[in-house]
Amino acid sequence: MMLRPLLERLRLARSQGRARTRLDRLLGDKAYSSRANRSYLRRRKTKATIAEPADQRANRLRRGSAGGRPPSFDREAYRLRNTVERAINLLKQNRAVATRYDKRAVIFEGTVQVASIRIWLRDLTRSTNTA
């Protein structure tokens, strides 16, 4: 439901030229696996790596050949999602990031940057203590 508005507003900056508006690949969890989302991504020529929920798989198999082929799924690319999820969870350990009390986007971005620096410094001191 929110995937389409998000992708329509997406702008990926480049070093030169116009910003990109189309992704090469979208890694999403099972919540984004609706038929509407998949067809929208196909129209945008974006490869989708979205796990198929058990209920959708069962419905497709129950329909037999009329259920169609299973959607393509790249396990290796999907496993990379874990890295992003863990990074976001680390940031959310900071209460100001998780609750987002800041009204201005610039202030919130600064809060995220400070939280990122704290995580980086924590990991830096751990690696120097173990070496």
The CA distance from 84 to 122, in Å, is: 18
Say which residues have a Cβ less than 8 Å from residue 112's Cβ, sequence separation at least 6: 91, 97
Q: 56 and 107, same structural domain?
A: no
Tokens 């830096």 belong to: 124
Give the number of domains in the chain.
Answer: 2
Q: 70 and 17, same structural domain?
A: yes
* DSSP label at residue 23: -
Q: 67 and 94, same structural domain?
A: no
Q: 4 and 58, same structural domain?
A: yes
CA Rg value for the chain? 19
Show the DSSP H helices in 31-104 as ranges: 35-43, 54-62, 75-79, 81-92, 95-99
Last residue of a domain, one of 41, 56, 75: 75
| Residue 5 lies in domain | 1-75
Q: Is residue 108 within 8 Å of 100, Cβ to Cβ? A: yes
User: Which of 41, 46, 67, 47 shows the shortest CA–CA distance to 56?
Assistant: 67
The reply to whether the predicted model has a pTM over 0.75 is no
Q: 60 and 91, same structural domain?
A: no
The CA distance from 83 to 78, in Å, is: 10
Per-residue pLDDT of the chain (131 residues; tens, 9 = 90+): 788 999 999 998 999 999 999 999 998 888 899 989 999 999 999 999 999 999 999 999 999 999 888 888 888 888 888 888 888 899 998 888 888 888 888 999 999 999 999 999 988 888 777 76
Q: 4 and 22, same structural domain?
A: yes
Q: 113 and 62, same structural domain?
A: no
Q: 69 and 87, same structural domain?
A: no
Q: 2 and 64, same structural domain?
A: yes
56: helix, strand or coil: helix
Q: 117 and 57, same structural domain?
A: no
